[in-house]
């Protein structure tokens, strides 16, 4: 998701997602700092952040 958002912003910087920077940073952490990524961290993303991202994307698609 982080890479997709990164590419989306490059192609259309007018599209705004509330937590885009945090999502991209998380992608970088998982890819480059995988030894510091815990299961708890990943589970927190699944439970807390992905549902909010889904709502943001649905809102963008409806506009």
- Tens of pLDDT, residues 15-44: 888 888 888 888 888 888 878 889 998 898
* pTM of the model as a whole: 0.70
Q: How do the domains of the chain map onto residue ranges?
A: 2-62
Task: Indicate whether 2 pLDDT > 90.
Answer: no
DSSP letter string over 42-54?
HHHIIIIIHHHHH
Instruction: Quote the pLDDT of residue 63.
Output: 85
Q: State the average pLDDT for the chain.
A: 88
pLDDT band at 7 (very low <50, low <70, confident <90, very high): very high
Instruction: Quote the pLDDT of residue 17.
Output: 87
Instruction: Quote the pLDDT of residue 21.
Output: 87
How far is Cα 46 from Cα 49, in angstroms, rounded to an integer? Answer: 6
Q: Output DSSP code: residue 30.
A: H
- Cβ–Cβ < 8 Å for 61, 15: no
């Amino acid at each position: 998701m982080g890479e997709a958002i990164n590419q989306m912003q490059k192609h259309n910087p007018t599209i705004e997602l509330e937590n885009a920077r945090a999502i991209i940073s998380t992608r970088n952490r998982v890819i480059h700092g995988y030894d510091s990524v815990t299961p708890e961290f990943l589970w927190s993303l699944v439970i807390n952040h992905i549902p909010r991202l889904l709502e943001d994307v649905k809102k963008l698609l409806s506009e």
